[in-house]
Homo-oligomer: A and B are copies of this chain.
Amino acid sequence: MTLCHIFVYICEFKTKTMEQSKKYLLSEKDIPTAWFNIIPSMPVKPRPMLNPATHKPLTVEDLYPLFSEEASRQELNFTDSWIEIPEQVRDLYKIWRPTPLVRARGLEKMLDTTAKIYFKNESVSPVGSHKLNSAIPQAYYCKKQGVTNVTTETGAGQWGAALSLASRMFGLELAVYMVKISYNQKPYRRSIMQTYGAEVIASPSMSTKAGRKIITEHPNYQGSLGTAISEAVELAVSTPNCKYALGSVLNHVALHQTVIGLEAEKQMEMAGDYPDIVIGCFGGGSNFSGIAFPFLRHNLSGERSTEFIAAEPASCPKLTRGVFSYDFGDEAGYTPLIPMLSLGHNFSPANIHAGGLRYHGAGSVVSQLKNDGLIDAVDIPQLESFEAATLFAKSEGIIPAPESAHAIAAAIREARKAKEAGTSPVILFNLSGHGLIDMTAYDRFLAGDLANYEVPDNEITDNTRDLEKL
């Protein structure tokens, strides 16, 4: 046996071994020690958020009454590319992080595609989604400055569940305003929050002025995220030692979520691949930013030319059909003015089962990136998302969250395109959560009881009429 033979043998062995890998796992010491802040790398920085009263650029101090001081500083940090993850936060990340990077061989086989498909499995967190990545540092920063009480709102309940666990870990009392229709329709998520010890209040409620007003005027109102935000904010600012926490849209939330992409980067290296296409589903931007930004920095530095696709629901098409303008983050208009791709803060999306994607606007960083052509977006109809979800469950075993199903659907579109074109792109998507608590949606899909929702042009025009284009 010559040296050359031995070399060939080793290569073949290595190939065989690599072919058999399903998951790429890191150890706890590989949990990132810093989050990646994309803003300093952006060719065009996002415009400043505006104080709604003065219409002047928001200062860090403007945010102190609402958020913890550290979260406020992170929100407006346009200079530091890396922000250290506190030791106590990393310790709690260890409960479920690093999460696996998985080669979706089952899905590839079922699609008979020439593409390689990978997914980052954020569904392994104890609350079943990526939301815990930001809930833990937000609770930590509150605790650190002596805050005792926290408030938030939740729609489908993913964020509420994550903040309930994080608050418990730091001994904070949490009040969650849960949109009334979800409170009644999704009792499991409510029970999860209560099991962790949070107080869950159906919104609108009689516990706040905003709630009492709307109940008095519309006794049967089933609630909205906008109303729930108003209630949570009102309780936070009127309670001593109390702060409010938000699970998406804002810069500091996207920042915390970058642990997803930073881990995935190392894992793709283990797999011997680099993604040609990175995909995340899109509600306000937290999981998409988390998987995309760390890879996007290599595009911005000119080293790579990866394609980034945000997969939003066709019934809430802010990225593809929204107006780039200053708009409020909530329906009632209490929040700062955010420079965002928006469908108008009064836009009322159809009642699709991907509750986490029913939001009218995109965060300021993603909006700027989209406006500058640095990321793409696609609209996924509800039925296509559930067809993708079911295919994924049958081939990879995991029943995905209805939100994550949008990313899967976009990945399947790309894999089918590749098959037709005879190309072999490396596709990476983020599986932001599992759907075990969303089985009602699957039941309805199997029963043929779900529909697609198109948004007529005039509905968007009407809702964005008063917005000034940027």
Q: Which residues of A contact B (CB under 8 A)?
A: 17, 20-23, 25, 27-29, 91, 94-96, 106, 124, 126-128, 165, 168-169, 187-188, 191-192, 194-197, 390, 393-394, 396-399, 434, 436-437, 439-440, 442-443, 446
Q: How close is A129's CB to chain B, nearest CB, in angstroms?
A: 11
Nearest CB in chain B to that of A90: its residue? B20
Q: Apart from A126-B397, A192-B439, A195-B442, list 18 A-B contacts with CB within 8 A.
A: A17-B29, A22-B28, A22-B94, A95-B397, A124-B124, A187-B439, A187-B440, A187-B443, A191-B439, A191-B446, A192-B399, A192-B442, A194-B442, A194-B446, A195-B390, A195-B446, A437-B437, A437-B439
From B27, B168, B396, B442, A191 is in contact (CB under 8 Å) with B442
In the assembly, what is the distance between CA of A17 and CA of B28, in Å? 11
Cβ contact within 8 Å between B25 and A27: yes
Residues in B neighbouring A194, C-beta threshold 8 A: 442-443, 446
Q: How close is A98's CB to chain B, nearest CB, in angstroms?
A: 9
Residues in B neighbouring A20, C-beta threshold 8 A: 28, 91, 94
Interface of A is mostly: helix
Cβ contact within 8 Å between B396 and A192: no
Nearest CB in chain B to that of A29: its residue? B17
> Top 3 closest A-B pairs, CB basis?
A22-B94, A126-B397, A191-B439
Cβ contact within 8 Å between A394 and B196: yes
Residues in B neighbouring A169, C-beta threshold 8 A: 106, 397
Cβ contact within 8 Å between B195 and A399: yes
Q: How close is A99's CB to chain B, nearest CB, in angstroms?
A: 11
Residues in B neighbouring A29, C-beta threshold 8 A: 17
Cβ contact within 8 Å between A188 and B436: yes
Q: How close is A174's CB to chain B, nearest CB, in angstroms?
A: 12
Q: How close is A143's CB to chain B, nearest CB, in angstroms?
A: 16
Q: How close is A429's CB to chain B, nearest CB, in angstroms?
A: 17
Cβ contact within 8 Å between B390 and A439: no
Cβ contact within 8 Å between A436 and B192: yes
Residues in B neighbouring A439, C-beta threshold 8 A: 187-188, 191-192, 195, 437
Cβ contact within 8 Å between B394 and A168: yes
From B187, B192, B393, A196 is in contact (CB under 8 Å) with B393
